[in-house]
Amino acid sequence: MQSPARLACSLVLILSAIPIAWSQAPQEKVDLETITRIRYEGFHNSKVTELASGLMDSIGERLTGSPNMKRANNWTRDKLTEMGLSNAHLEAWGPFGRGWANQYVNARLTSPDITPLIVYAKAWTPGTDGVVTGKCIRANIEEKKDFDKYRGKLAGMIVIFGPDAEVKPIVESPYKRLGDDDLAKIGEYQIPGERPPFRLAEMLRRRRFIKDLNQFFADEKVLAVIDHSRGTAGGGTVFVQSGGSYKPGETTTIPQLTMASEQWNRIARLLDQKKDATVELNVANTFYDDDPMQYDTIAEIPGTDKKDEVVMLGAHLDSWHAGTGATDNGAGSVVMMEAVRILKALDIKPRRTIRIGLWSGEEEGLLGSQGYVEQHFGSRPPMDDPNMKGIPTLLRREAGPVTVKPEQAKVSAYFNVDNGTGKIRGVYLQENEAVAPIFESWMKAFRDLGMTTLTMRNTGGTDHLSFDAVGIPGFQFIQDPIEYETRTHHSNMDVYDRLQPDDLKQMAVIVASFVYETAMRDQMMPRKPIEKPLPKESE
């Protein structure tokens, strides 16, 4: 996922900051007997580690469009069926574009000495078509005018690309739980600007530059491009994402890789000292063009007297490819699966239908959840910019007003988990103050599990935004960061061993309880207004 803010507020400050209206609101019903049963099932009979191993160990990485993503869709559909859910199926969205997977990478420094290198292929880039060896050359290109510095100098070379990599000593554990000081800040509501901080024009300019840069490397007949991992911790953790487009006709023709920062720095120092460095590469990648569509996994627990109304929970199932997508977002996926398993194991008969959605395409821009919401609940008009062709516009307020569909009125709420493996500490209310007294009542049963915080703040970067955009109450839970930003987020270390099993159990119990209470309420969840369109951005 794209990183949300990692702040929260202390229980003391939260309780003192709760508006009087919350305490004066009618007392929310809380089914403590059923919550007790949910807690027992979730803590004594948990299947969350079994689900996690099945997804992360037996399937592995789940890049959208890869064969493993299709395996994950089928596996989750079949598992949800085994749990007793109804109508478990895959829903198509798209067209997405080209699938991709890496089969093999081997890299070594061959001069001035022989050293194996830690590298990973960047998604949607080609392989080397066998073993290739080339001299390295340093290049740092930040804008198009920098092309002239390197024109005519790169043919047949391996480009050591980017600015210097900063690596700092590891002086403390990257593992972190939210303490009182951390929790003290998130309750301080930040008044938003007229525009969100993420600007479409800036994104499109960056996308055009990357396209031009890839074409420049192709025109210069570069052998391969190697950049370094982000961050300063190093230690063999490599953060790697895409190097090219998944859109047909826009695929880069140059192999691209990301290297561990310490090894990249060694080669860069040699080159800065005017010494030769030679690297041997053998990279095998495969593109898949058999099916341009991608799929979300959907299943339900049917409701009773209010079965036409729906409570949704979800997480994104896709991942990047260097690890096995454990904390991003296998954790969220298995927590949501465990939550519905708990409810089925207890033979819960919800008043409203409970529907789980496991989304693909989140890492490419919340594409799977946007596709689902556009098909069922509402959409915005298409945009004129050719760079937006085929891309959902639901989150782009400058595209125009939202047109809602009849199903939108039947969804009470959507709950999302996508902040790693850390336990739940509270809920981002997305500026929906009317739900605060409801959640405050439900949260009391979990204060002993560390859930103490409600905040009016928004949080971004994950699939609840697709639902929030069409006026459906959508919520992301606040979680302990653990090692998310420092070690696992989009890295080769995002693997099963980084999961915290007790935290996953806590999360599943809380999610199951919130979903249950939402499904059993007499009324739907309170809604806030749909945000108005924004004027079109200028370049």
Q: Which domains does the chain have, with CATH numbers?
A: 11-96+293-520 (3.40.630.10), 100-288 (3.50.30.30)
The average pLDDT across 170-176 equals 70
Q: What's the average model confidence in pLDDT over 184-200?
A: 67
What is the pLDDT confidence band of residue 18, given thresholds at 50, 70 and 90? very low
pLDDT-derived band of residue 227, with 50, 70 and 90 as boundaries?
very high
- Chain centroid to CA 357: how far? 14
What pLDDT does 184 receive? 66
Read off the pLDDT of residues 435-457 as tens digits, 9 standing for 90 and up.
999 999 999 999 999 999 999 99
- Higher pLDDT among residues 201 and 8, named by residue: 201
Q: Which two tokens stand for residue 403?
A: 């047109």
How far, in Å, are 223, 321, 422, 453, 467 from residue 478 at the CA level? Answer: 45, 26, 9, 8, 18
Q: Residue 51 is inside which H or E element, if any?
A: helix 48-56
The one-letter amino acid at 28? E
With beta carbons less than 8 A apart as the criterion, state whether 403 and 378 touch.
Answer: yes
Per-residue model confidence (pLDDT) at position 203? 77
Return d(Cα 428, Cα 464) in angstroms, integer.
Answer: 11
Q: Contact at 8 Å (CB) between 481 and 471?
A: no
What's the rounded mean pLDDT across residues 157-165? 96
pLDDT at 14: 36
* Distance of alpha carbon 245 from alpha carbon 98, whole angstroms: 9
> Does residue 320 have a pLDDT over 80?
yes
Average pLDDT over residues 391-409: 95
Q: Using CA of residue 213, residue 214, residue 218, residue 223, what is the dihedral sign?
A: positive
Per-residue pLDDT, averaged over 499-505, amounts to 98
**Helix (H) or strand (E) segment spanning residue 501:** helix 501-520
Q: Is 416 exposed, middle or buried (0-12, 13-18, 19+ CB in 10 A)?
A: buried
Quick check: 182 pLDDT over 50?
yes
pLDDT beyond 50 at 10: no
Burial (CB count within 10 angstroms: exposed 0-12, middle 13-18, buried 19+), residue 472:
buried
Q: How many helices (H) and strands (E) does the chain have?
A: 14, 18
The residues pairing with 416 across neighbouring beta strands, listed in sequence order, are: 314, 476
Tokens describing residue 107: 């890299």
Q: Of 537, 331, 325, which is closest to residue 416 (Cα–Cα)?
A: 331
Q: Kindly compute the dihedral angle of the four CA atoms of residues 127, 133, 138, 140, in this order, to the nearest 10 degrees.
A: -10
- Model pLDDT for residues 87-103, shown as the tens digit of each residue: 999 999 999 999 999 99
Average pLDDT, the chain: 92
Closest by CA to 344, choosing from 37, 13, 73, 24, is 37
Confidence at residue 172, expressed as pLDDT on a 0 to 100 scale: 59
Instruction: State the SS3 of 230-272.
Output: CCCCCCCCCECCECCCCCCCCCCCCCEEEECHHHHHHHHHHHH
Instruction: Name the more confident of 520 and 180.
Output: 520
Mean pLDDT of 516-532: 97
Name the pLDDT band for 171 (thresholds 50, 70, 90): low
Task: Please state the rounded mean pLDDT for residues 504-524.
Answer: 98
Residue 236 pLDDT > 60: yes
**The predicted structure's pLDDT at residue 188:** 67
Query: What pLDDT was estimated at residue 21?
Result: 43
Choice between 534 and 108, residue whose per-residue pLDDT is larger: 108
Q: What's the pLDDT at 9?
A: 38
227: nearest Cα among 264, 253, 254: 264
Tell me how far apart the alpha carbons of residues 355 and 403 are, in angstroms, rounded to a whole number: 23
Percent over 90 (pLDDT), the chain: 82
343 and 354 Cβ atoms separated by less than 8 Å: yes
- Return the pLDDT at 17: 38
Closest C-alpha among 274, 311, 246, 219 to residue 98: 246
Tokens standing for 298? 């959907």
Give the torsion sign (CA, 504, 509, 510, 512): positive
**pLDDT for the residue numbered 187:** 65
Residue 197 pLDDT level (bands cut at 50, 70, 90): low
**Structure-token pair, residue 324:** 């096995």
Please check the confidence at residue 19 and state whether its pLDDT lies above 50: no
What are the tens digits of pLDDT across the range 347-380? Answer: 999 999 999 999 999 999 999 999 999 999 999 9
SS3 94: coil
**What are the pLDDT digits (tens) for 50-77?**
999 999 999 999 999 999 999 999 999 9
- Cα separation, 455 vs 449, whole angstroms: 18
> How high is the pLDDT of residue 201?
73
Question: What does the alpha-carbon distance between residue 243 and residue 266 come to, in Å, rounded to a whole number?
Answer: 23
Residues in a beta bridge with 286: 101
Predicted local distance difference test score (pLDDT) of residue 204: 79
Mean local confidence (pLDDT), 463-477: 98
The number of C-alpha atoms within 13 Å of 366 and in the hemisphere containing its C-beta is 23
Segment 501-529 shows an average pLDDT of 98
Q: What is the pLDDT of residue 387?
A: 78
Residue 192 has pLDDT above 80, yes or no: no
Where residue 240 falls among pLDDT bands split at 50, 70, 90?
A: very high
Long-range CB contacts (within 8 A, 24+) of 82-89: 83/337, 83/340, 83/341, 83/344, 84/344, 85/299, 85/300, 85/301, 85/340, 85/344, 85/356, 86/299, 86/300, 86/301, 86/302, 87/298, 87/299, 87/300, 88/297, 88/298, 88/299, 89/297, 89/298, 89/299
Predicted pLDDT at 385: 82
